[in-house]
Amino acid sequence: MKLGLFGINTGPCAQPDAARRVAQEAEACGFESLWTGEHVVLPDPQVPPSPVPPETPFLDPAVSLTWVAAHTRTILLGTGIIILPQRNPLVLAKELASVDVVSGGRLIFGLGIGYLEAEFRALGAPFENKGPRAMDYLAAMLAVWTQDKPAHEGRFVSFRGIQSLPRPARRPHPPIVIGGHTPSAFRRAVAHGNGWYGFALDLDTTATCIEGLRRAGAECDRPAALGALEISVTPRGKVDRDTVRRFADLGVERLIVYRPRATADEMLADVRTLAAEVLR
C-alpha cells in the first residue's frame, strides 16, 4: 500500500514554513506522495454542500507543489483534485508542466468536475456540461503536452498553430487521476485516467465505488496505453495496519490520509504516528 498525505496546501500548511516542515517529514518517514486540495473561492456564509468554512485558506495547487518540490527530493506531488472545468486548459497545462519540470517529473495530475455552483458562478464558469467540458479540456492539455505540432478541435476549446514549452518532464505526460463518486465519474476514470481517486470514504462506500468502476469498465473502452486503473482513497476515520489491510483487500493501492489539524506540530506528530503504525 502506498501512503499519501492530503492537505499540503491548506489549514496549517497554507503557511509556507509549515508546508516545508510537513513535506520534509513525510518524505523522511517514507510517505509516497503529498496532495493538494482546491477551492478557488468558497461560499460565505458556508452553506451545503460547501465542505469547509469560508475562512479556510487554500494555496493555489501549482504554487504549493512548486514550493514543497523545492524542499524535497523524491516524494510525489499530487493535485487532489483540480476543478478542471473552472480553468483555462492551456494556462493550466503550462502551470502543471512547469511544476513537473521543476520537481524532476514528480507530478500526479488529479482532476474532478466540481460541485459548488456558487464557486462556478463567482468565477464566470458555466456550471452546465461540467463533465464533457472537463474531458475536452483534458484532451486539449494532452495535446500541448504530447504533440509535436499541438492541435485540438473540441466542443469547448480549439486551437492549432501554437506551441507550449516546456513539456512535462515525465513522458508522455504526468499520470492522470480522475476523482468522483458517480457513475459518470467512474466512466471518465476508466476511459481517460491512469487512476481514480475517492475522497473521504469508509470501507463499505469504497467497495461500492470499486464495483461502480468495474461496471464502468464493462461499458467503456479503456485504451491499453493507460494500463491498469490505480485506485486511491482518502479514508474516513482511523487508519492503522488493520485498516490498510482491509482497504488493500478491496483493491485500493494508495491511501491518501487527511487529518485536519490546527497546527503544523500536530500534523508533524500525525505523520510520525502514521509512519510508525502503518509503514514500519
Domain segments of the chain as ranges: 2-279
- pLDDT of 280 reads 80
Handedness of CA 15, 26, 175, 178 (dihedral sign): negative
Q: Are 78 and 44 in contact (CB under 8 A)?
A: no
Q: Are 197 and 80 in contact (CB under 8 A)?
A: yes
Cα→Cα distances 140→2, 172, 183, Å: 30, 14, 24
Q: Which fold, 2-279?
A: TIM Barrel (3.20.20)
- pLDDT of 263 reads 97
Which of 53, 52, 59 lies closest to 13, judged by CA? 59
Cα→Cα distances 123→9, 15, 61, 78, 113, Å: 21, 25, 17, 24, 14
DSSP letter string over the chain? -EEEEE-TTBGGGGSHHHHHHHHHHHHHHT--EEEE---SS--SS--TT--S-TT--B--HHHHHHHHHHT-SS-EEEES-EEGGGS-HHHHHHHHHHHHHHTTS-EEEEEE----HHHHHHHT---TTHHHHHHHHHHHHHHHHH-SS--EE-SS-EE-S----SPPSSSS---EEEE-SSHHHHHHHHHH-SEEEEEEE-HHHHHHHHHHHHHHHHHS---GGG-SPEEEEEESS---HHHHHHHHHHT--EEEE----SSHHHHHHHHHHHIIIII-
- pLDDT of 128 reads 97
The rounded average pLDDT for each run of 10 residues, N- to C-terminus, in the chain (280 residues) is 98 98 98 98 96 97 98 98 98 98 98 98 97 98 98 98 98 98 98 98 98 97 96 95 97 97 97 93
Using a 10 angstrom Cβ sphere, with 0-12 exposed, 13-18 middle and 19 or more buried, the burial of residue 204 is: exposed
Predicted TM-score (pTM) of the model is: 0.97
Q: Are 233 and 208 in contact (CB under 8 A)?
A: no
Q: Are 23 and 68 in contact (CB under 8 A)?
A: yes
φ and ψ at residue 61, rounded to 5 degrees: -55, -45
- The whole-angstrom separation of Cα 240 and Cα 209 is 22
Which of 238, 226, 131, 128 lies closest to 173, judged by CA? 226
